Amino acid sequence: MSSNLILPNATQWLGRAKSLLCVGVLQISLTACTFFESELPQPLPKPTATYDSVVPLPVSFEQGREYFSLTPNSLIKSNDNSLQPEITYLNAMVKQTLGFELATSDSFWKTSPSSVELILKPSTQQDSEAYDMVVTEKNIQISASTRAGIFRGIQSLKQLLPTPTESKGNPNGLVWTIYTGEISDQPRYAYRGFMLDVSRHFYSVDEVKTIIDYLAEYKYNVFHFHLTDDQGWRIEIPGWPKLTSVGSRSAVGMEDCDNCYYTLEQYADIVAYADARHITLIPEIDTPGHVRAAQASYPELLYCDGDKPEWPYTGIKVKISSLCFKNPDIYDFFNDVVAAIAPLTTGPYIHVGGDETPKWVDKKDYREFMLRAQFIIASHGKKMMGWTNDLGNVKGLPENVLGQHWSIKKTCCETTLNMVAQGNQIVMSPANKTYLDLKYNKDTKLGLKWAGFNDVENSYNWNPATMVEGVNEDHILGIEAPLWGETVNSLEDAEYLIFPRLLTLAEVAWSPQEQRQFDSFQNRLDKQVQRLKQRGVNVHLQD
């Protein structure tokens, strides 16, 4: 594995010899010494990061003793034109971190003193997100069989570069060094997700993008966008203007949330932003429960009681609403919503939530609604995703429906097991391990505690494949970490709950189970937390 031997390299020795010589000749000729200073190479700055601090832990890595130097004269090259977006991303990253952009070459064979090479090499065997990174004194090569693999490799490189604040203090001019070495890496799970609840707390487009950038850094590849809930409807739907003019106006603790929704244009922009980071966006329209905001907008069409539901709703109760099953308009409503969103969604899934309906909801009504909802989603070219609790009670759903499991008990989960028996794959989100909105401990001001406390060690120490009896590695597509918004008031609050558990769960999703040890993770985490703090991210520090 990694070798941490850090010895000065040849150029550094040269630098030291030069200093001694200068001291020796000082009395004889100051001018000669000045001449020496400018002619001899400066000692290279020591790399700021080591391979053993990369999160999530790569499958294998090895650190050498020499240095690669990145300077404004380094060149970015690639062997395939389709990598242009990754080149642009890499260059923006270098600019943001080091303050200069690198020249790019359209010829792979052009020589340069040092280069960063992105190499696409088709292969049928490898995982589609696998990548290799080889760093020599002359170049950094990142190779993969897909653009996504190259992108994941760029994230490992990012963690070997300094943070933007470190680079501002660069004493050696425009030279940055990285240890020579090798990384060979691929993910454990194909689905590594994060969920953002923009209904209970609304986030601006820029804030959403900031969070998507955090996901990219730790190699997440799914952004589950919880767009609707009792407290607020957050997406414009043509033909249903009151969903936004009325339904978007509240949030938890807020009676008059102004402009608290995304236009379809903004939605498409967020999808594209995620796509550029090889992150699939899964929109969620929570039904048939969690629909107070939609009902308040159209009580005559979606609500049974002939009255109006209490609105705005700023509380945090669940199981308080359901669509009115005896009204056929609910299907037009659902169809129009899916018809608006599906064509702007590049990923294959639309999430329907589907849990926590009020007690009065009849199982047969629920089943009929979900079967028709599945049909509507399929008719718009997408697949359905929903919580196993209660989607697992619906017999007759096709195999391509994806179930998401939140229960915290080991022998609980009839609904999840039903879905497994039906051939559906499962995304594991056991609340006690993955919920980012749980308090870390009793002293945490933000967060809920209905599923217990979720400190860093607790969120690290679990194996998705042994959480539920009968749900094994083969049934599991991946894991997801939801950030519910009941106690969030700002991006800073969200960061406090996200960090550092986003890193913990990134490693659960990416790294081989047998190589994960909490002690060594803590060392990696300490270094990452230092970097995040330097950048001003509001990280919860461990006790």
Can residue 194 be called a binding residue for ligand TNX (CB under 6 A)? no
Exposed / middle / buried, residue 5 (Cβ in 10 Å: 0-12, 13-18, 19+):
exposed
For ligand TNX, the closer of residues 324 and 481 by Cβ is 481
SS3 category, 201 = coil
Which residues in 132-191 contact ligand TNX (CB under 6 A)? none
Shortest spacing between CB 487 and ligand TNX, in angstroms: 9
Closest Cα partner for 279 from 365, 230, 360, 209?
A: 209
Q: Rounded to an integer, what is the distance from CA 471 to the centroid of its chain?
A: 24
Shortest spacing between CB 516 and ligand TNX, in angstroms: 25
Region binding ligand TNX by CB under 6 A among candidate stretches 39-47, 63-71, 241-249, 429-437: 429-437
Size of the site for ligand TNX (CB under 6 A): 11
Tokens encoding 410: 């080991």
Shortest spacing between CB 300 and ligand TNX, in angstroms: 26
**434 near 479, Cβ under 8 Å?**
yes
Active site residue 356: yes
For ligand TNX, the closer of residues 129 and 356 by Cβ is 356
For ligand TNX, the closer of residues 129 and 355 by Cβ is 355
For ligand TNX, the closer of residues 61 and 233 by Cβ is 233
Candidate list 61, 203, 303, 435; residue touching ligand TNX; CB under 6 A: 435
For ligand TNX, the closer of residues 200 and 524 by Cβ is 200
Shortest spacing between CB 480 and ligand TNX, in angstroms: 11
HSE-CB of 102 using CA atoms within 13 angstroms: 28
CA dist 301 and 240 (Å) reads 11
Residue entry with tokens 């905001």: 293
Residue entry with tokens 């330097």: 534
Candidate list 67, 334, 406, 499; residue touching ligand TNX; CB under 6 A: 406
Closest residue to ligand TNX using C-beta atoms: 484
CA dist 381 and 534 (Å) reads 44
For ligand TNX, the closer of residues 186 and 231 by Cβ is 231
For ligand TNX, the closer of residues 61 and 387 by Cβ is 387
Residue 41 gets which letter from DSSP? Answer: P
Q: Rounded to an integer, what is the distance from CA 208 to the centroid of its chain?
A: 11
**357 near 363, Cβ under 8 Å?**
no
Alpha helices in 422-465 (DSSP H): 431-434, 456-460
Shortest spacing between CB 200 and ligand TNX, in angstroms: 7
Residue 289 neighbours by CB distance under 10 Å: 23
Closest Cα partner for 351 from 397, 412, 297, 401?
A: 401
Which residues in 316-355 contact ligand TNX (CB under 6 A)? 318, 355
Candidate list 194, 225, 387, 521; residue touching ligand TNX; CB under 6 A: 387
Region binding ligand TNX by CB under 6 A among candidate stretches 186-194, 232-240, 339-347, 430-438: 430-438
Q: Which of 356, 480, 495, 507 is the catalytic position?
A: 356
CA dist 181 and 185 (Å) reads 13
Alpha helices in 399-500 (DSSP H): 414-421, 431-434, 456-460, 491-498
Q: Rounded to an integer, what is the distance from CA 136 to the centroid of its chain?
A: 30
**Is the peptide bond between 58 and the residue preceding it cis, with omega within 30 degrees of 0?**
no
CA dist 155 and 166 (Å) reads 18
Candidate list 203, 484, 496, 510; residue touching ligand TNX; CB under 6 A: 484
Shortest spacing between CB 444 and ligand TNX, in angstroms: 14
CA dist 157 and 3 (Å) reads 18
Shortest spacing between CB 448 and ligand TNX, in angstroms: 5
**471 near 430, Cβ under 8 Å?**
no
Candidate list 284, 356, 480, 495; residue touching ligand TNX; CB under 6 A: 356
DSSP class per residue in 388-409: HHHHTT-TT--TTPEEEE----
For ligand TNX, the closer of residues 197 and 236 by Cβ is 197
HSE-CB of 306 using CA atoms within 13 angstroms: 0
Candidate list 86, 185, 390, 437; residue touching ligand TNX; CB under 6 A: 437
Shortest spacing between CB 431 and ligand TNX, in angstroms: 6
For ligand TNX, the closer of residues 52 and 486 by Cβ is 486
Shortest spacing between CB 384 and ligand TNX, in angstroms: 15
Active site residues: 356
Q: Give the footprint of ligand TNX on this chain (CB under 6 A).
A: 318, 355-356, 387, 406, 431, 435, 437, 448, 484, 486
